[in-house]
């Protein structure tokens, strides 16, 4: 279960990649497998929502692997 959820949004060339790389090395910070989800960029209905759900499942597996390492 997530204790805190932070969603980062930023314009191009605004330093979001730098912030991502800084936070990525912290053992208690976890990201989605894809850096940029573009969740709201497309109007693809339920199919996109289900694809996002699949990414969430993969994220949980990635977290477990990262914590074991």
Which residue is it, tokens 């989800």? Answer: 37
Q: What is the pLDDT of residue 11?
A: 83
Write down the pTM of the prediction.
0.49
pLDDT over 80 (residue 38): no
| pLDDT one-digit tens code per residue, 10-32 | 888 899 889 989 998 998 888 87
Query: Do 48 and 42 contact (CB within 8 A), yes or no?
Result: yes
- Closest of 21, 49, 48 to residue 35, by C-alpha: 21
- Closest of 63, 66, 65 to residue 1, by C-alpha: 63
Query: Do 39 and 52 contact (CB within 8 A), yes or no?
Result: yes
Cα-Cα-Cα-Cα dihedral sign, residues 38, 53, 58, 4: positive
Confidence of residue 69 (pLDDT cuts 50, 70, 90): low
């Amino acid at each position: 279960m997530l204790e805190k959820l932070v969603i980062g949004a930023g314009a191009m060339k605004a330093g979001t990649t730098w912030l991502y790389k800084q936070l990525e090395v912290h053992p208690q910070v976890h990201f989605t497998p894809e850096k940029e989800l573009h969740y709201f960029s497309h109007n693809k209905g339920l199919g996109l929502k289900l694809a996002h759900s699949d990414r969430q499942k993969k994220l949980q597996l990635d977290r477990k692997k990262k914590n074991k390492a």
